[in-house]
Structure 1
């Protein structure tokens, strides 16, 4: 039993498990920011553009004889509804979150590429290509060691 507990402790303390836990926690907090962005800023603009349409009240009533004008009223009455407006809002939330994450990753990759570019420039400055055989040679070479051509 002690060996099993030691293995479990080793597994939990691995860096990738801890990174995953931190990622999930930050992702949850980030989702509340995105939900606020969508519900409080983007959806009102979309409603303004579409003439005051409120996606949250788009639904199809599946049961009951009485007609309801809002989703909340239908749900309060216990009527079965197909709330596709909430689904549209969830899809918009997902697309916005995916776009924001894409932009963050793109920015991080660009920052990482700047560091790689500087290293590549340093490495390229120590070698050059022979104009005759296209072999890579030392930058200070006056004769190609591969084809023996004189390089000026």
Structure 2
């Protein structure tokens, strides 16, 4: 039972629960934005009679195809995806690139197995190949 309690009290689980709640709330907010502001604006610009796309349907042999509701959901998805990209993915990739830049200065590739090893290493930890150090390659006077 104590292991389960530790699992529940772990920081990552709490952060994940907060993220799910915020994500669900954000999704509702975006859906309201699309339904109440964006689709009426599109209808006003295009001269449509109904400002809500969810009312747009067509029927084939008694089957009702609600393509307007699909348009609403597509707009919601595009807004959520763009916000996630611009506010989460792009900053994180820049941050990772920033930290990887410092990593490249402290590591080099082994010429035998192409593993990343420290710059000062004289032997590869992965394939045990002997490496030439910078001092050994410099010409002696």
Interval containing the TM-score (normalised by the shorter chain)? 0.5 to 0.7
CA 1:121–1:81: 2 relative to 1, 3 Å = closer
Which residue number in structure 1 is paired with residue 138 of structure 2?
Answer: 148
- CA, structure 1 residues 116+57, in 2 after alignment: closer, same or farther (shift >3 Å)? same
In angstroms, what is the RMSD of aligned CA positions? 3.5
Pairing 1:56–2:46 present: no
Aligned equivalent of 1:24: 20
The equivalent position to 2:77 in structure 1, one of 94, 102, 115, is 94
Corresponding residue for 1:108?
A: 92
- Residue matched to 1:132: none
For structure 2, list consecutive stretches of 5 or more residues without a partner in the other structure. Answer: 108-118, 120-131
TM value normalised by structure 1 = 0.56
Q: How many residues align?
A: 115
Segments of structure 1 that go 5 or more residues without pairing to the other structure are 65-79, 128-134, 138-143
Name the CA distance, whole Å, in 2 between partners of 1:111 and 1:49. 41
Alpha-carbon distance in 2 for matches of 1:37, 1:12: 35
Secondary structure of 1:149's aligned partner: coil
Give the superposition deviation at 1:115.
Answer: 5.3
Higher relative contact order (CA 8 A, sep 6+): 1
For 2:37, what is the secondary structure of its paired residue? helix
Which structure has the larger Rg?
Answer: 1
Alignment CA distance shift 1:49-1:136 (3 Å): farther
Does the residue aligned with 2:47 lie in a helix, a strand or coil?
Answer: coil
Per the alignment, residue 6 of structure 1 pairs with 2
Secondary structure of 2:68's aligned partner: helix
- Between the aligned partners of 2:94 and 2:82, the Cα distance in structure 1 is 16
